[in-house]
Amino acid sequence: MLNDLLLLGLVAFVLTLVLTPASMYLAKMVGAIDHPGGRRVHLRPIPRLGGIAMYVSFVAAVMLFMPRPLTIQTEGLIVGSTILLVVGIYDDIKGVSPKAKFLGQLAGAAVLLFFGYHIESLTLPVIGPIPHLGAWGTALVLFWVVSLVNTVNVADGLDGLAAGISFGACLVMAWSAVRIGQSTEALMLAGLAGVCLGFLLFNFHPAKVFMGDSGSMFLGFVMAATSVSGLLKTPVLLGLVLPMLALGMPIFDMTFTVIRRKWKGQPISVADRGHLHHRLLDRGFSHRQAVLAMYALSAILGGAAVLAGLNDWQWAVFLTVLVCIVLVTVLFGKRHVPVPRRSSGK
């Protein structure tokens, strides 16, 4: 099994290395360029259709290595991720309204329901089993998928941030899938990890290309779908807890952002400079320092996820609380704007 995971991940990695330059050329051809200005922190125009290379590399690797015939869940994941990719490409080139983007995300999540993604029951660590969720199970799938899609989208704010965090999350989730015998989900997550690592070589500061919404929404969708697919085969809540911990930092950031904007009476979709990465930059961190600091916090949360998977809940909770204290300190601590420095990147 390990050899299959490594081989699929390696193929996805190599394909991403080959196809990302092609996506950069395509972005320049169609005008999908992210220009400096506003709340953006990069100082030069950068192509932003890297999501196409990520999607094609992932699907090609999956089609090459997945056992045939493909499961209905795998088919649903590919169809749903294609919808998210198309919506993201259009947004990267032309721009779409937040409402239209949300409807596209909802459509992709609804496809999963059509292909058999439905949570019938859950087993909570303390409460115990909750059977016969019915319509609540359907709502949980839709909420979970749309939330994770937007979580990764929020994380795509600095060079290499979303790709790096997603790479770590995929490793943790793949480990969990192998541990409980979910080979299909483990293979897909290994492929996605290879895609993230390959893209990171082009996207780490100073970035040569951005994944765009086409890439960030695709990443979030695949991680959400694989976690739900795994949950269909086991009643344990870990199918949701592990990705929540592995992606805990962007989830925290997104939750805080929603609360902050609601508190101020602002629309949730209005962008600002209140995200974690903006706060770190405003506190004097360089671009790379901010990204590496957020990698470190994500790694600690990934460790907490592994401990939770091993039923060591005390240490998992301790590490999670520790990271939350750090994040609250960053978000609510005194801010200052550092002296501008010459740099490039997002």
How many Å apart are CA 22 and CA 42, to the nearest integer? Answer: 22
**Would residue 295 count as lying in a domain?**
no
Residue 25 located in a structural domain: yes
Answer whether residue 346 shows pLDDT above 60: no
Q: Is residue 304 part of a domain?
A: no
Domain-embedded: residue 343? no
Which residues contact residue 7 at a Cβ distance below 8 angstroms, ignoring those fewer than 6 apart?
65
The answer to whether 115 and 75 have CB atoms below 8 angstroms apart is yes
Where does the pLDDT of residue 204 fall: very low under 50, low under 70, confident under 90, or very high at 90 and above? very high
Residue 34 belongs to what H/E stretch? strand 33-34
Does residue 22 belong to any structural domain of this protein? yes
- Model pLDDT, residue 241: 77
User: Which tens digits make up the pLDDT trace of 53-82?
Assistant: 999 999 999 999 888 888 899 999 999 999
Q: How many Å is the Cα radius of gyration of the chain?
A: 19
For residue 234, being part of any structural domain is answered with yes
Q: How confident is the model at residue 39 (pLDDT cuts 50, 70, 90)?
A: low
| Residue 102 structure tokens | 């949300």
Asked if the model's pLDDT at residue 341 lies above 80, the reply is no
Number of structural domains in the chain: 1
Structural domain for 130, as ranges: 2-248
pTM above 0.75, yes or no: yes
Query: Domain for residue 336, yes or no?
Result: no
Residue 297 lies inside a defined structural domain of this protein: no
Mean pLDDT for the chain overall: 86
